Amino acid sequence: MKLRNEEKGMSLVEVVVSITILSIILLSFASLFQQSSKTTENN
């Protein structure tokens, strides 16, 4: 008796969670880059 169907691909929830995690990571890198460019500009 199989408990879980073998599905190929990802479910909608997995896609939404992965996109959310990636956007958080990208936003943190963008803010770090912006802060470092402001610091470089002031010096």
**Which pLDDT score is estimated for 1?**
53
**Which pLDDT score is estimated for 38?**
85
14, two tokens: 């997995």
**Contacts (Cβ under 8 Å, ≥6 apart) of 10:** 18
Q: Write out pLDDT tens, residues 2-41.
A: 566 666 788 999 999 999 999 999 999 999 999 998 888 8
**Which pLDDT score is estimated for 18?**
97
**43 vs 19, more confident:** 19
